[in-house]
Amino acid sequence: MTAGAGGARRRAGKRHAPGTVGGLISECAARLDEAEVFFGHGTETARDEAAALVFHVLGLDHADAGRAYRRMVPETDRRKVESLLERRISTRHPLPYLTNEAWFAGLPFYVDARVLVPRSPFAELIASRFAPWLEPARVRRILEIGTGSGCIAVALARAFPDSRVVATDISPDALAVAAINVARHAVEKRVELVQADLFRGLKGRFDLIVTNPPYVPEADVATFPPEYGHEPRLALVSGADGMATPARILHHAARFLTPQGWLALEVGAGVGVLEARFPAVPFVWPELLNGGEGIALVSAADLRACLPGPGTQDDQ
């Protein structure tokens, strides 16, 4: 959900006068419902999406939604809203690809079809600075694997101001988007972007490794709504059971963690599959109060005790 959209969503359920922002949002929501588009890229319902769309086009502030809903909409602006709404319905592109903006951890990020639309529940753990598992004051080096838009790396840099973050991605296109966001949030001096396949070429150890890798099983792609088809497949699919990439990360993470370090690995709905593949690993599954699922925490000590040593250099 975009920042502040909660208040906009609640007000969208009321009746609003024709010609106002609130009335236009209601009209857009009705059309989105009728078109049966899929929501899941930052919004949850047609009203959420309609509010995000209208507020973006009109340049409105969600924090001022109470007054904004009563504003009259000029005909020129109405036509702009209708044009974007038609693109959303006809192309089935996720709305953030059409607006080139998505929100994560309360921050705005540039996005396009080179990266996944940010929607990870990692935002909640970053806000709490991974307490009680980590002592935030001791975190000096952080690694993010598969940075995509760079949203997690930027949020980590802001949450841990005394740290340096190395953010990797195998895709040069994704890193180009991440560079835009690193610059946008002025963390260039503390976030290093590296093109790498997982850990390949990295040196040193990290107090925290965070990763939202591909974890979708191959067969699931055929069941996806059209909106997901616009996202980079490389960032979604990971073998027959979805655990090919997470398994590689687990087998090699220990050698890149400090003795008191932690790995935070997102696998979404693949919780049962991951536990079945690694029954000896005592994963910690934090309760996510803001929604989402499937983030596993595991300490460096438990990784070293439960998993065999790393394989060949080619396996990294």
Task: Answer left, alpha or beta for residue 105, where phi above 0 means left and psi between -120 and 50 means alpha.
Answer: left
Which residue would you say has higher pLDDT here, 313 or 177? 177
- Which residue ranges form the domains of the chain, and what is each CATH number? 5-99 (no CATH), 113-315 (3.40.50.150)
Q: Which amino acid is at 259?
A: P
Among residues 188, 177, 129, the alpha carbon closest in space to that of 154 is found at: 188
The pLDDT, as a whole number, for residue 312 is 38
Does residue 286 contact residue 295 with C-beta atoms inside 8 Å? yes
Residue 35's alpha-carbon distances to 38, 87, 171, 222, 226, in angstroms, are 9, 12, 34, 21, 13
pLDDT (average), residues 130-139:
95
Q: Model confidence over 231-263: pLDDT tens digits?
A: 999 999 999 999 999 999 999 999 999 999 999
Confidence grade of residue 67 (pLDDT, cut at 50, 70, 90): confident
Tell me: pLDDT of 148 over 90.
yes
Q: Model confidence over 177-233: pLDDT tens digits?
A: 999 999 999 999 999 999 999 999 999 999 999 999 999 999 999 999 999 999 999
Does residue 153 contact residue 182 with C-beta atoms inside 8 Å? yes
